[in-house]
Amino acid sequence: MTPGFTGSPLDRADALRNDPDALAAARSDWRARLLRLDGIDPVLGDNDRLSWGSLAEAEPDAELLLLGLLDGRPHFAQLRPDMPEGAARSLAIFRMLDVLPAEEASTYAAARSLIDWHLRHRFCARCGSGDTALHRAGWGRKCGSCGAEHFPRVDPVVIMLAEHEGRVLVGRQPRYPPRRYSALAGFVEPGESIEEAVARELWEEAGLRVHGVRYVTSQPWPFPSQLMMACVAEADSDALTLDRTELEDAFWIDRADVDAALAEVPHAAFTPPPPYAIAHTLLRWWLEQG
């Protein structure tokens, strides 16, 4: 079970981030490499892998973010004032994710989430000042006015299968492609555990009371920067009350349905989420438990 966006060989080299001399040396290292991007999307090179250039390719007005070390070499991404916020997702990125190996997508995810966070957090949320600057080699911003340090957000999200008598619940949001169904999901809120968030979301979205929440696995999701935590939970009954503002439809499926959907056979009950989505990993994991 290898979830999407995991397995990057990147050494994040935390010690370098806070060492100005080491960071300066990394930036002047002739072996240093720069992630090639088109806007905030990756540029794919040979064998559908990420493409890297030399630091000489950085734009004059760019700031450099230290992603970490690969094979001992410093690897950077550039932050440019004219970059589009990642909220404007291109269709191209999803086509690329169909071919990009998970460990390459994982390195890209770190870069994309970091860049997108900087683009949306140029001002200090504490005092409003625009005098904020890159901090810790790009893994934060510091306010020159009030001194507040800000760190990139990672938003924890629970994504789960409610299970009842050998069947699990899948649903679809209105924005999904036709026939796509997936596990239900929602953001963890302040003051709750993963297990409580799973129970709350299944109650709010589907009217299900659950017990026995179990964690399965996790992955990052860089649109813009979620931590997806996949769980299963036992539903007390299979009676649904759907929140139609969240879900267009939902139904219970058995293992034969999941098998057919993942095998993409014609006339399967639904189209599953793509392999790089943790809901795909979760459905495959559940199938294998049977």
Q: Residue 108 or residue 181: which is nearer to a second copy going by CB?
A: 108
Q: Residue 99 or residue 154: which is nearer to a second copy going by CB?
A: 154
Shortest Cβ distance from residue 136 to a second copy (Å)?
A: 11
Shortest Cβ distance from residue 32 to a second copy (Å)?
A: 19
Which candidate, 249, 248, 270, 250, places its Cα nearest to that of 259? 270
Q: Residue 113 or residue 182: which is nearer to a second copy going by CB?
A: 113
Q: Residue 55 or residue 114: which is nearer to a second copy going by CB?
A: 114
Shortest Cβ distance from residue 180 to a second copy (Å)?
A: 24
With beta carbons less than 8 A apart as the criterion, state whether 282 and 3 touch: no
Q: Residue 13 or residue 34: which is nearer to a second copy going by CB?
A: 13
User: Who contacts 258 (Cβ-Cβ below 8 Å, separation ≥6)?
Assistant: 168, 272, 283, 286, 287
The per-residue b/e assignment along 196-210, b for 16 or more CB within 10 angstroms, e otherwise, is ebbbbbbeebbebeb
Q: Residue 215 or residue 251: which is nearer to a second copy going by CB?
A: 215
How far is 281 from 262, CA to CA, in rounded Å? 10
Which candidate, 57, 60, 64, places its Cα nearest to that of 79? 64
Shortest Cβ distance from residue 22 to a second copy (Å)?
A: 14
Q: How many residues does the chain have?
A: 290
For binding to a second copy (CB under 8 A), which residues are involved? 3, 5-6, 8, 12, 14-15, 106-107, 109-114, 117, 120-130, 139, 148, 150-156, 187-196, 200, 204, 215, 217-220, 222, 225, 227, 229, 243
Shortest Cβ distance from residue 225 to a second copy (Å)?
A: 5
Shortest Cβ distance from residue 266 to a second copy (Å)?
A: 34
Q: Residue 39 or residue 156: which is nearer to a second copy going by CB?
A: 156
Shortest Cβ distance from residue 125 to a second copy (Å)?
A: 4
How far is 132 from 63, CA to CA, in rounded Å? 13
Which candidate, 153, 66, 89, 155, places its Cα nearest to that of 117? 153
